[in-house]
A and B are shown apart, each in its own frame.
Chain A
Amino acid sequence: MTDNMYIERSCRISENTIWLDGAPYWKGLPAASFIDFAKEAFRLLKVDYPKFYKMDNLSKLVFLAADFLLQQQDKDGIALVMANRSSSLDTDIKHQQSIQEKESFFPSPATFVYTLPNICEGELCIRHQLMTENIFLVDECFPTETIEMYAAYLLRSGKAKRVMCGWAELFQENYDAVLYLVGPNGEKEHTKKNIEDLFR
């Protein structure tokens, strides 16, 4: 692996809109809830993957961003480096509500399994058959330098051929996913400034 690293592609999902490489790709209904938006966006992909409907909202968000990002892409050797602010709090609260009342104590196994933020990366690994490194960080804002350095390390050390990096934040109806692929091809160099530009 040479030191030439580029941001090859990017996908952002926020405010009922999907952007690819900075350009609007699809917009859902303005007043749609995240659930309804995600369902419509999923149908747009035209994939047969019933497990999508069983995922928690954070995993649905990441699943959609990754599927749009990886369309027509070679998926061999892609590592995952992601972060968010709210961890799995959105699902943690749903689980907590199901065990709040002693008389109505029915925790849902399907909810409980999503009470960790890195589970969304596991869903991506299953979906795209990724068998490389993955890490999920929790921080107040996107840890640009840490993620830039770690992605570069994975590529330079040969532990990955490309790295899918990004921010995957979701809490209730507020969500913002910014995923980007770092690899040896492209025009936009993998620099702190260019990464920060993805969030503008």
Chain B
Amino acid sequence: MVELKEELKGKIIEVLNLEDVTVGDIQDGDALFGDGLGLDSIDALELIVLLDKEYGIKLSDPKQGKAIFKSIETMAAYISENRTK
């Protein structure tokens, strides 16, 4: 799980072009949206694509996103349980 969390941080920084953010800057429990990393609605769509592309997870209900993308912690837990690749 620790490895997955670090991998996720790297992928999020790369995919979302978070230029001045490093893996070390993101804590596992930090909020990804709002006051945390300050991601926006387009970033949320990119995260949905990331789940599909990298882990073979298709979100059928976009409402799930709010809970899944709360933090690195919640994302990693969801990926661990649902990944197909």
Q: A interface vs B, CB < 8 Å?
A: 39, 50, 53-54, 106-110, 113
Contacting residues, chain B, for A50 (C-beta < 8 A): 18-20, 38
Q: Is the CB of A53 within 8 A of B49?
A: no
CA–CA, A110 and B17, complex, Å = 10
B23 interfacial by beta-carbon distance below 8 Å: no
| A107 proximity list for chain B (CB < 8 A) | 49
Say yes or no: is B83 at the interface (Cβ < 8 Å to chain A): no
Determine the distance from Cα of A110 to Cα of B18 in the docked complex, in whole angstroms.
13
**Assembled-state Cα–Cα distance A108/B53 (Å):** 11
User: Which A-B residue pairs are the 10 nearest by beta carbons?
Assistant: A109-B45, A53-B19, A53-B17, A106-B53, A54-B17, A110-B42, A109-B42, A110-B46, A106-B49, A109-B46
Q: Shortest Cβ distance from B41 into chain A, in angstroms?
A: 9
B28 within 8 A of A: no
Query: Chain B 33-50 against A: per-residue CB contact (8 Å), 1 yes, 0 no?
Result: 000001000110110010
A50 to B16, CA, bound (A): 11
* B52 contacts partner chain A, Cβ-Cβ < 8 Å: yes
Supposing A53-B19, A106-B53 touch, asked if A113 and B42 sit within 8 A by C-beta, the answer is: yes
Q: How far is the CB of B51 from chain A (nearest CB, A)?
A: 11
Q: Beyond the given A50-B20, A109-B49, A110-B46, please list 19 additional residue pairs across the A-B interface where CB-CB is below 8 A.
A: A39-B19, A50-B18, A50-B38, A53-B17, A53-B18, A53-B19, A54-B16, A54-B17, A54-B42, A106-B49, A106-B52, A106-B53, A107-B49, A108-B46, A109-B45, A110-B16, A110-B42, A110-B45, A113-B42
Q: Which residue from chain B places its CB closest to the CB of A107 in the assembled complex?
A: B49
Whether the Cβ atoms of B19 and A108 lie closer than 8 Å is no
Residues of chain A contacted by B46 (CB below 8 angstroms) = 108-110
Quote the shortest CB–CB distance from A35 to chain B (angstroms): 11
Please give me the residue from chain B that is nearest to A55 by CB atom: B17
Closest Cβ of chain A: how far from B21's Cβ, in Å? Answer: 9
